[in-house]
Structure formats: C-alpha cells, structure tokens
C-alpha cells in the first residue's frame, strides 16, 4: 500500500496537464483502478486483516482524491497566471489613432478665412448656387448686352419651350449674395459669403466649379482706406507673415466704382512661393466701392450709405498657401491626394490656436 501511495502521489505531483490527471484518477481510483481492485480483495480477507486494511485503503483513496483535486487546482491557477502574463496590456497607453478622413484644403482655408474675418466683425452670409439671371447679373449692374456676361462663360439652365423668361444660371460669382444680404439685412452690414461658383472653363488653373469668398461692408463713411486696411490685416493673418505689401491696381467691374485688383508682393525662389518679400506680384482678388446702382438693387439708399466689396478665389489662395500645383486635383477625390494635402479632422483653425497645423 505504501508503494501504491508513493507511486501515485509522485505521478500526480509531476502531471503536466488535466488530461494526464484524469488518466491517473482512472488508473488509481476508477472502477477498475488499482485501489478499487485492492478494495475488492478485502472480501477475501479474514475479519482481523480487513479491520486493518479497510480503513488504510479508504484513507489512501481519500489521500489520492485530495492530491488529484489539489493538483487540478494548481494547474488551473498556473494556466490563469500564464494567461494574465501573456495577455498583459498597458491600459494607460493612448488610444489607437484611427484616421477617419481628412479635411479638404478648400474647407480648411474657408474656415481660416472665416476665422480671420469673424475677428474683424464680419458675419457669414449665404446664397443659392442656382441663381436667377437678375441676382447674378442685372442687380450687379451687368445688363443683358454687357460683355461681362459673355466673358463669364455662364452655365444656363433650361426653360420649358415657350417660356421666355430668362433662364436661371449657376452663379458665376458670389457677388449675388451681396444683393440678397442687402435686401435681407439692410444697412449697416458687414458680411463675408464663401461658396461654390461655376464657369465653363477647364485647365491647370481653372475648373468648371470653384470657390470664392465675397466680402461686403456697408456703413455711412466707409472708404477705400477701410478696404485697404481690412485686406492687409487679412493677408498678414492668412499667410502668417508680419508684414506684407499690397498693390491696388485700377481695374473695372460693373458693380464697383472705383474698382481695384489687389496683388501681393512675393517671391518664387526655388519654385516655392514666399509672401511679403521679393520682386513679384501676385493677383489675389477683385474689389472696389459698391456701385450706387448695386446699393439700389439691394434696397439701400446710395445717398445715405456706401461701402466696399471684394471677391477672392478660395482655391487660388489655398494653392498659394499650401503649395498645391494643380487646381484640377482639388476635385478628383483621389484619396492619396486628400491624405497628402488634407488636414487632421480635429484641428479647427482659430486665431488664438493657430490657423494652419
Ligand atoms: N465678382 C468678381 C469676380 O468674380 C470679384 C469682385 C467681387 C470684384 C466684389 C469686385 C467686388 O471676378
């Protein structure tokens, strides 16, 4: 019995897994196990022998059963320890960065421009992209025969046969929002109007859809000097330079008088644009004092009020600021391009937090 005990206690102690333990249990205390067989032998013994051997065998059976149970628990504990060791994880690590897309440079620049003008007291105004002929042209002092209509390569919508009202157009600029805002708000007012505009044109610097941002400020004594200051403040903030020289070139728009196109001083050293230095000039916008007829179309009395307006190409200034060479790629929806030129989705531009990344 002592040999039997030593044998099984040893085997149990060295068992490597639960399956081995189960085999040992069957071998020792199973129905046909060694100890069970020994117990059957009790019947053949004399009463005295049985009184000694019986309790010993029972005690041995109990000892082996508890050794099996203890070993089983030990194996389970070791397995759990191993799992805890293998599956260890530092829960204080930052969350995994998952890119869910990027902000398009046009959206980014629109936000930047809006933040800058908001700081100067300009609210955001909007108008429809499908616009009436009157808002897009007539109200802006561009009558039917005016060459500006032809120059703008306008997209026209259809009218039913027999309907001779002038067709609606895809707005060719954001200037109709000037009229809508004047009619809706009256004077004084100070707004910018970013949005999509359309012209039938397609090459490296022109796409049939592009973006403009209109500016309009109407008050009692607004002059070209205010226009110049506002644009200088804007350009310095937008291009993130301390000083910049603007050149106002006399120009002509039907809806402003006088009119000026505005260039900024820049250099193209080594193919990269630097704003504020060098001997080159780059045109960035059209502007002027709002024409009295335009104020009238907006139901504002030109004898009482005056103001300035400007219109700037958003895609154009985005290309300049972020060094993007081809305008057409803006609207290709090529994911590689978007990942390269896009902006992190939580980097909202603000004046205090920084405009660009
Ligand atoms: N609407 C003009 C354009 O698209 C720009 C402009 C706006 C000029 C306002 C003067 C004043 O070219």
Q: Looking at residue 125, which CATH number applies to its domain? A: 3.30.930.10
Distance 128 CA to ligand 1 centre (A): 17
Q: For ligand 1, say whether the CB of 298 is within 6 Å of any of its atoms.
A: no
Q: Let me know whether 191 and 42 are in one domain.
A: no
Does ligand 1 come within 6 angstroms of the Cβ of 178?
Answer: no
User: Same domain, yes or no, for 122 and 269?
Assistant: yes
Q: Residue 111 annotated as binding? A: no
Query: Which pLDDT value is given to residue 94?
Result: 81
Ranges of residues in the chain with a pLDDT under 50 are none
Query: Ligand 1: does its nearest atom lie under 6 Å from the Cβ of 309?
Result: yes
Given this model, what pLDDT does residue 39 score?
87
Q: Hey, whose CA ends up nearest to atom 7 of ligand 1?
A: 311
Query: Looking at ligand 1, which atom is closest to the CA of residue 216?
Result: 9
Contacts 24+ apart (CB under 8 A), 32-41: 34/4, 35/4, 35/60, 35/61, 35/64, 38/1, 38/4
Spell out the residues 6+ positions from residue 251 whose beta carbon is closer than 8 angstroms to its own: 259, 260, 261, 286, 288
* CA dist., res. 9 & res. 4, Å (int): 9
Helices (H), 87-212: 105-119, 133-136, 147-151, 176-185
pLDDT of residue 137: 95
The reply to whether ligand 1 has any atom less than 6 angstroms from the CB of 136 is no
Question: Could you tell me if 33 and 124 lie in one domain?
Answer: no
Q: Rounded to the nearest whole angstrom, what is the distance from the C-alpha of residue 200 to the centroid of ligand 1?
A: 17
Identify whether residues 173 and 80 lie together within a single domain. Answer: no
Query: Residue 276's pLDDT is what?
Result: 80
Instruction: Decide: 199 in ligand 1 pocket, CB within 6 A.
Output: no
Among candidate residues 141, 136, 213, 145, the one with its CA nearest the CA of residue 180:
136
Residues 291 and 300 sit within 8 Å (Cβ to Cβ)? no
The span from the CA of 30 to the CA of 26, in Å, is 4
Q: Is there a contact between 137 and 146 (Cβ–Cβ < 8 Å)? A: yes
At residue 157, what are phi and psi to the nearest 5 degrees?
-90, 170
Q: From the CB of 310, is ligand 1 less than 6 Å away?
A: yes
Q: pLDDT at position 136, please?
A: 96
Burial of 112 (0-12, 13-18, 19+ CB in 10 A): buried
Q: Does residue 349 form part of some domain?
A: no
The preferred substitution site among 173, 213, 217 for testing ligand 1, maximizing ligand atoms within 8 Å of CB, is 173
**Residue closest by Cα to atom 2 of ligand 1:** 311
Where does residue 156 rank: exposed (0-12), middle (13-18), buried (19+ CB within 10 A)?
exposed
pLDDT at residue 353, rounded to an integer: 67
One domain for residues 181 and 130: yes
Q: Which has the closest alpha carbon to 212: 115, 125, 153?
A: 125
Residue 45 is predicted with a pLDDT of 87
- Counted domains in the chain: 2
Q: Do residue 307 and residue 334 come from a single domain?
A: yes
Q: Which residues contact 87 (CB under 8 A, 6 or more apart)?
A: none
Helix (H, G, I), strand (E, B) or coil at 289: strand
| Any domain includes 355 | no
pLDDT in tens, 43-87: 888 888 888 888 998 999 999 999 999 999 999 999 999 999 999
CB 300 within 8 A of CB 214: no
Q: What is the pLDDT of residues 253-291, one digit of tens each?
A: 999 999 999 998 888 777 777 788 888 888 899 999 999
- HSE value, Cβ hemisphere, 13 Å, CA-based, for 226: 18
Question: Could you list the residue range(s) of the whole structural domain that residue 180 is in?
Answer: 102-344
Q: What is the value of pTM for the model shown? A: 0.71
The DSSP secondary structure of 49-108, one letter per residue, reads HHHHHHHHHHHHHHHHHHHHHHHHHHHHHHHHHHHHHHT---TTSPPPP-----B-HHHH
Same domain flag for 162 and 71: no
Q: From ligand 1's centre to the CA of 261, what distance in Å?
A: 9
DSSP letter assigned to residue 269: G
**Are both 44 and 107 inside the same structural domain?**
no
Per DSSP, what are the bridge partners of residue 310? 215, 287
Task: Quote the pLDDT of residue 41.
Answer: 87
Q: How far apart are alpha carbons 205 and 243 in whole angstroms? A: 27
Same domain, yes or no: 197 and 315? yes
Backbone angles phi, psi at 13, to 5 degrees: -60, -35
Pairing of strands 306-313, 280-290: antiparallel
* 56 inside domain: yes
Residues 13 and 59 in one domain: yes
For residues 116 and 211, state if they share a domain.
Answer: yes
């Amino acid at each position: 019995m002592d040999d039997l005990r030593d044998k099984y206690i040893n085997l149990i102690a060295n068992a490597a897994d639960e399956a081995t333990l189960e085999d040992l249990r069957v071998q020792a205390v199973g129905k046909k196990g060694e100890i069970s067989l020994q117990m059957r032998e009790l019947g053949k013994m004399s009463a005295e022998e049985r009184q000694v051997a019986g309790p010993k065998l029972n005690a041995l059976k109990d000892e082996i059963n508890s050794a099996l149970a203890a070993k089983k628990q030990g194996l389970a504990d070791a397995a759990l320890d191993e799992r805890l060791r293998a599956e260890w994880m530092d829960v204080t690590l930052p969350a995994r960065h998952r890119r869910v897309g990027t902000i398009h440079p046009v959206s980014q620049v629109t936000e930047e421009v809006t933040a800058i003008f908001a700081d100067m007291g300009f609210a955001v105004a909007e108008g429809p992209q499908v616009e009436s002929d009157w808002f897009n042209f007539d109200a802006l002092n561009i009558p039917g025969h005016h060459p500006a209509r032809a120059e703008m390569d306008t997209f026209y919508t259809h009218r039913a046969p027999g309907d001779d009202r002038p067709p609606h157009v895809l707005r060719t600029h954001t200037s109709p929002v000037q009229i809508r805002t004047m009619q809706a708000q009256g004077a004084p007012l100070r707004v910018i109007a970013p949005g999509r505009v359309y012209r039938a044109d397609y090459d490296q610097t022109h796409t049939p859809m592009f973006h403009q941002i209109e500016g309009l400020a109407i008050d009692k004594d607004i002059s070209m000097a205010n226009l110049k200051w506002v644009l200088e403040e804007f350009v310095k903030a937008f291009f993130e330079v301390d000083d910049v020289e603007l050149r106002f070139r006399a120009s002509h728009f039907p809806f402003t008088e006088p009119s000026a196109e505005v260039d900024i001083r820049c250099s193209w050293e080594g193919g990269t644009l630097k704003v504020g230095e060098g001997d080159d000039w780059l045109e960035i916008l059209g502007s002027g004092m709002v024409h009295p007829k335009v104020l009238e179309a907006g139901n504002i009395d030109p004898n009482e009020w005056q103001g300035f307006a400007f219109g700037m190409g958003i895609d154009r200034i985005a290309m300049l600021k972020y060094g993007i060479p081809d305008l057409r790629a803006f609207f290709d929806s090529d994911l590689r391009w978007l990942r390269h030129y896009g902006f992190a989705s939580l980097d909202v531009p603000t004046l205090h937090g920084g405009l660009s990344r």
